Structure formats: structure tokens, C-alpha cells
């Protein structure tokens, strides 16, 4: 499709993936992972996979982020990694 949008979103996706693995605050990592899921959903919608994008929007940017935040809330929040 429109290749300019696709390049921008691919670059953002790589930056978000590296960021979610590098930050030292686990709550920030969970939120960055939610943003990564939502950018993936946009990529799939651009490629025409509307069912898959719908599923990823509801699962990744919805329930998955909530489960991560719940798990981080009940365990420790800082990491030195």
C-alpha cells in the first residue's frame, strides 16, 4: 500500500521493541509493549489483514497489557537488567 506510512511504522515498531526490552522500569516496559502491539495492529491493517488486526487490537492493546500491569503490580517493579 502506501509505502511511506509503512516505512515510518516499521521504524517505530523496531524502536518500541528495543525500548521495551531496555527500560529499567517494568511498568514502562509493559506500556511500551502495549504500544508495540498497537503499531503491529496498524501494520496488519495496512496489509489488508483486517481480522488479524482486530484480534491484535483487542488482545494485545487491551487484555495483554492489563495482564502485564497486574503481574508487575503484584511483583517487583524495578529491575537492574
Q: Which residues bind other proteins (CB under 8 A)?
A: 6, 10, 13-14, 17-18, 20-21, 26, 29-30, 33, 36-37, 40, 43-44, 47-56, 58-60, 62-64, 66-76, 79-81
Dihedral sign from CA coordinates of 57, 59, 63, 69 = negative
Give least dist CB 32 to other proteins, A: 9
* Chain centre to alpha carbon of residue 46: 17
Give least dist CB 57 to other proteins, A: 9
Q: Which is nearer to other proteins, 4 or 68 (CB)?
A: 68
Q: Rounded to an integer, what distance in angstroms lies between the CA atom of residue 55 and that of residue 69?
A: 20
Q: Which is nearer to other proteins, 2 or 36 (CB)?
A: 36
Please, what is the angle between helix 26-46 and helix 3-22, to 10°?
A: 160
Amino acid at each position: 500500500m502506501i509505502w511511506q506510512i509503512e516505512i515510518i511504522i516499521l521504524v517505530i515498531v523496531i524502536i518500541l521493541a528495543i525500548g521495551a526490552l531496555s527500560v529499567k522500569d517494568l511498568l514502562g516496559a509493559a506500556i511500551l509493549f502495549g504500544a508495540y502491539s498497537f503499531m503491529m495492529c496498524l501494520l496488519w491493517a495496512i496489509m489488508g489483514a483486517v481480522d488479524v488486526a482486530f484480534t491484535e487490537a483487542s488482545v494485545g492493546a487491551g487484555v495483554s497489557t492489563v495482564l502485564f500491569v497486574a503481574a508487575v503490580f503484584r511483583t517487583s517493579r524495578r529491575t537492574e537488567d
